[in-house]
Structure 1
Amino acid sequence: MSSVLNNKHLISRAGFGVSINQINNMEDWTPQKLSDVLFRNYNFTEITYQTPDFVKTETDDPKLIANQKRQQLKTFQKQNEELNLNFLMNMVHNEDQLLEKMAFFWHGHFATRINNSQFNQQLLNFIRKNALGNFKDLLIGVSKSPAMLNFLNNQQNKKDHPNENFAREVMELFTLGRGNYTETDIKELARAFTGWSYDKDGNFQERKNQHDNRDKTFLGKRGNFNGDEALKIILEQKTTAKFITEKIYRFFVNEIPDKSIIDKLSTDFYASDYDIKGLMKNIFTSKWFYDEKNIGNRIKSPTELIVGMMRILPMEIKNSENIVVYQKLLGQMLLYPPNVSGWPNGKSWIDSSSLMLRMQIPQIWSGIRPMEYSAKEDDDMDMGMKSREALNKSFKNPNIIIDWKKVENTFKDKKPENYIIINSGNINMESVKQFSDSDKIKAIINMMSTPEYQLM
């Protein structure tokens, strides 16, 4: 198996695909050298937004109050759009590709969907900063974030009226997995989380007068546990390490789990006290990672597809806010997961209409084909515009300028399929090369419009 194929595989799984600036190094790099680049310590930069906050004025007028709420919501939506695009552009341009890819994974694992852009920014940057750190720290920090507490209603969790929503999802989706706890464990964990809340500025608060101080029996232990203590009990379970390891394996390696490999990885993960970077290094430096069955077997998520195109085609986007519409059309809008389970994976990304759009985007963005799709209604995503007519009227093409000269120069002496398609041996080059071999640009657009390009 060629080193270029191995490098493409590693870059696509540990990042978002080969960038135009990496093409000339692909044949010289060894997987070890590339791994060193991936695991290097980079400077961390937070994601921010520039839209100014909405300033409320004191009033008792119900009409003015309602109008202020609408204006506040519009401000949140503009700020969330900025966060969305800045997160996406970090995936495209940040040298620290592994950090952004892990942040993308955790963004779906710890899924939240709320309007408050300040809370969204806070959680997003916490996840990014801790994406390769310690899962223990990540879990505790996310569990105390106002975005998560708000989304799962824990501010309503009080000692006399426990709300079990947050407790249930912490175990089912974030740590242990379904079947590894009882209904009694959910009730007892909810009691441990009573009083966990936040103030208007996004600071975590323990409302001690709302906390249930009585003894609890949770996962076989008894005591007057608070939320922190209960989370530590969850982390003491080897089942937690295995659940997280298997989910990471399915996302980064293969959707069909290999029990023996996962058992070994999770044992090491648990013994390391949940060192995420160590787990990822174990995966990406293992020989089995490069087994043929693990290469070109995953359908790209919409985010991976869009970011991968942006990395290989250097572009200037005049109407970047309309990239959000493409996310929506393809079914994966950052900051807006469908539910607390996050986004699905695999074949769920593909149906007859979405596959057609996915294959046409390279031509649409290159100006060869017009945009002929409209998004489904979802008021959260439509920025308050409930009618499809209003959404379509607001939509303009992204107005993309691609640096074709750079693309042409980069691929001048190279076969594009060796760098763009993961499993290029399976692609029918005759169907791609409808143009002369000398027209590399048209060949590249055609290549990115194939079913094979949807895989990584």
Structure 2
Amino acid sequence: MPDRVKNSVKLKHLYARAGFGITPADLKNQEHWPVGKTVRSLFESSERFSPITVVNENTDLVYNGQPMMAANVNMTGGMTGSSGGMMASQADAMRSEETKRLIQETRNRQERDLNIAWMTLMSTTQAQLREKMTLFWHNHFSCRVGNFMYMQDLNNIHRKHALGNFKTMLTEVAQTPAMLQFLNNQSNNKVHPNENFARELMELFTIGRGNYTEQDVRESARAFTGWQYDGKTYQYSFREKSHDDGTKTFFGKTGNWRGEDIINMILERKETAQFLSRKLYRYLVNDVPDEVHIREMADVLYRSGYEIKPWLEKVLTAGWFYEPQNIGNLVKSPVEFLVGLNRQFYITYENPGVLIQFQRTLGQVLFNPPNVAGWPGGRNWIDSSSLMHRLKMPSLILNAGLIEFAGKATPEEEAYIAAMRKQQDSVIKRVQAKADINKFIAGLPPKTSKEEIAGFMLEPPVNPSMLAEAANSPDIKTLLIRLTSTPEYQLC
């Protein structure tokens, strides 16, 4: 294999893992770049931090009697006398139900706006590496609460520190209203310690099972008493009166520890760097951990004081990252699958809400993880039902649900095609997606063969039957729809 081709394979693999894919034009422009230069370019294009700011109403204010939504409720006033008192009570109850309904409508709208804003950002940004890592941290610090201003703030913390320092991000995440509410640390006080956050901090966010005891959980929970958010400002505020200031023994060390001390002691343990490195390895490299490579990653993360940039650089510039067994072997998450399609074919949606329907169908709705452990990922993304939907979705988005047949169609195929064409108008109205396939084709280098297009579109090596089918495709658009509708396209 010529060096040029080898380098192109590496760069395509790099962009599939560190981002959401590369365009043919960019691949052509960078085909002679060494890997290190491309990695530097990915970091440079991701230096800028652009927060999402579509949610600007805090629905929790309603529950504290503030008039955010009350002005939208038009109810009659109370009356005097016993019957009037009863009518007033009924009116109050109706007013309360109407307010709850309006709150839920607001939250539904906010959830939709926040989801679409992030999908749009991932589908259009040049800061691919930052958004790819934001998606990683979104699942690592899995959280689900009904207040989408809190969820937006949490997401922006992931984005801000995605390539920064893990300790800084961990501390800020632990102090967000979203996480304080989700894992009940808001109710963690010296009279009634709550262990939820303390447990998940170690089990899921840092050091992993087997590296702490139940006593460590209890003592850690005491240290995090007083970590709460203010009921009026909804900002983090350490509550001295709620804090247990007694001595605590954690990891065998005794002292008057606070939450910051617990975080420091957890990060001092090399097992934390190993736990994080194993998780990142499965996200970027391979579902099957290689403990030698993971130790290399952990050494870099630990020695740097948990700086994320050198940690990522270690992975993305390592020779083993580009070994054949690590190419085209990961299943794309539903979000990666949809964002990759959007980026490749410049897709826009007149009804962007359909993106949430697609996420729900495929099993990953942003800001709505299944539990505190997040989405398990890997091969868990695929079952018989989800694979069927994945194979149908590209043709649904790119061609209103129709996959063209090659050669002369049989009578059965002709009947199927006729039925599908009748459904196209309905699909177009529901999906309202516009793909600029011609823009993709225009970006192909001159004289690119159909076989080369197949090699570009699919990460796993293209088998001979796929190459033969590519050669027989009547046109490039048909070829692209067929390729994106294959099981191989589900891999990156």
TM norm structure 2: 0.84
Structure 2 counterparts to residues 25-40 of structure 1, below 5 A:
25-40=29-44
Aligned to 2:421: none
Provide structure 2 residue ranges, at least 5 long, that are not aligned to the other structure.
60-67, 74-88, 403-427
Structure 2 counterparts to residues 201-212 of structure 1, below 5 A:
201-212=233-244
Task: Give 1 or 2: higher helix fraction.
Answer: 2
From the superposition, tell whether residues 427 and 45 of structure 1 become closer, same or farther in structure 2 (CA, over 3 Å). Answer: farther
Q: Which has the higher contact order (CA 8 A, sep 6+)?
A: 1
Deviation at 1:367, TM superposition (A): 3.0
Q: Secondary structure at the match of 2:353?
A: helix
Deviation at 1:316, TM superposition (A): 2.0
Match of 1:229 among 261, 265, 271: 261
Whichever residue aligns with residue 183 of structure 1, its letter is E
C-alpha distance in 1 between matches for 2:267 and 2:463? 43
C-alpha distance in 1 between matches for 2:440 and 2:490? 21
Match of 2:16 among 9, 12, 19: 12
Structure 2 counterparts to residues 56-455 of structure 1, below 5 A:
56-57=69-70, 61-200=92-231, 201-369=233-401, 397-411=430-444, 413-414=447-448, 415-426=452-463, 428-429=465-466, 432-433=469-470, 435-436=472-473, 439-455=475-491
Q: Per-residue displacement from partner, 1:46-70 (whole Å, max 9, x unpaired)?
A: 1121676662338982321222122
Q: Secondary structure at the match of 2:348?
A: strand
Higher alpha-carbon deviation: 13-22 or 74-83: 13-22
**Are 2:76 and 1:45 equivalent residues in the alignment?**
no
Q: Per-residue displacement from partner, 1:130-155 (whole Å, max 9, x unpaired)?
A: 01101110111111111011111111
Higher alpha-carbon deviation: 140-149 or 44-53: 44-53
Deviation at 1:262, TM superposition (A): 1.1
Q: Secondary structure at the match of 1:433?
A: helix
Q: Is the 8 A contact 1:157 1:193 kept in 2?
A: yes
Q: Secondary structure at the match of 1:49?
A: coil
Deviation at 1:90, TM superposition (A): 1.6
CA radius of gyration, larger in: 2
Q: Per-residue displacement from partner, 1:167-220 (whole Å, max 9, x unpaired)?
A: 100000000101110000000011111121112443002121111111000111
> How high is the sequence identity, in percent, across the aligned residues?
42
Deviation at 1:430, TM superposition (A): 5.0
C-alpha distance in 2 between matches for 1:447 and 1:227? 51
Whichever residue aligns with residue 406 of structure 1, its letter is K
Q: Is the 8 A contact 1:18 1:308 kept in 2?
A: no
C-alpha distance in 1 between matches for 2:488 and 2:277? 28
Whichever residue aligns with residue 78 of structure 1, its letter is R
TM norm structure 1: 0.90
Q: Is the 8 A contact 1:296 1:455 kept in 2?
A: yes
From the superposition, tell whether residues 427 and 399 of structure 1 become closer, same or farther in structure 2 (CA, over 3 Å). Answer: farther
Deviation at 1:250, TM superposition (A): 1.2
Q: Is the 8 A contact 1:319 1:396 kept in 2?
A: no
Deviation at 1:408, TM superposition (A): 2.6
Provide structure 1 residue ranges, at least 5 long, that are not aligned to the other structure.
371-394
Q: Is the 8 A contact 2:112 2:356 kept in 1?
A: yes
Deviation at 1:274, TM superposition (A): 0.5
Whichever residue aligns with residue 43 of structure 1, its letter is R
> What is the number of residues matched between the two proteins?
433
Deviation at 1:35, TM superposition (A): 1.0
